[in-house]
């Protein structure tokens, strides 16, 4: 005696609706996400050393003399106030200076004076030059 079942289960699974949901989530995340770091156009000087120092606070200076502390634009007159606030939040008192190589050494010295006046060490960021 053979029993015929009226309701047969289809073993295939349609993934179309699942991919629609995933694409909608991806689009939502891309639209609402805020970039964590903005590209600041700085041409760093070259170095043959690859060693990097742990930085507590990043200070950047572009060739047009725009100052940035942790990717936030800052006027040079307010640099000491902003650096003090940033250094108070960090355990390490190191300022990593990203300065364009076309600028004179006087700009680097001015920032180093401000940082050392706040009790911080200054380190210069460079671009590693690979040897052939």
pLDDT in tens, 61-119: 998 999 999 888 999 999 999 999 988 888 888 898 888 888 888 988 999 999 999 99
Cα 85 to Cα 29: distance, rounded to the nearest angstrom: 32
Taking the model in full, what pTM does it have?
Answer: 0.62
Cα 57 to Cα 18: distance, rounded to the nearest angstrom: 44
| pLDDT score of 48 more than 70 | no
| pLDDT score of 27 more than 70 | yes
Cα 110 to Cα 67: distance, rounded to the nearest angstrom: 12
Confidence at residue 12, expressed as pLDDT on a 0 to 100 scale: 75
Q: Residue 127 region, left (φ>0) first, then alpha (ψ -120 to 50), else beta?
A: beta
Q: What is the layout of strands, in order, in the sheet containing 72-74?
A: 72-74, 67-69, 57-61, 94-99, 121-124
β-pairing, 94-99 vs 57-61, is: parallel
Higher pLDDT, 112 or 128: 112
Higher pLDDT, 36 or 57: 57
Domains and CATH numbers, the chain: 46-128 (3.30.420.270)
Cα 25 to Cα 18: distance, rounded to the nearest angstrom: 11
Instruction: For tokens 């390490």, name the residue.
Output: 92
Task: Give the SS3 label for residue 63.
Answer: coil
């Amino acid at each position: 005696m053979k029993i015929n079942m009226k309701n047969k289960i289809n073993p295939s699974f349609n993934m179309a609706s699942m991919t629609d949901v995933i694409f909608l989530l991806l689009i939502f995340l891309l639209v609402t996400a805020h970039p964590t770091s903005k590209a600041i156009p700085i041409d760093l000087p070259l170095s043959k050393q690859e060693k990097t120092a742990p930085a507590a606070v990043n200070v950047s200076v572009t060739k047009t003399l725009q100052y940035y502390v942790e990717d936030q634009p800052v006027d040079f007159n307010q640099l000491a106030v902003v650096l003090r606030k940033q250094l108070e939040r960090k355990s390490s008192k190191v300022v990593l200076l990203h300065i364009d190589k076309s600028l004179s050494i006087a700009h680097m010295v001015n920032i180093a004076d401000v940082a050392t006046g706040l009790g911080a060490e200054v380190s210069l960021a460079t671009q590693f030059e690979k040897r052939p």
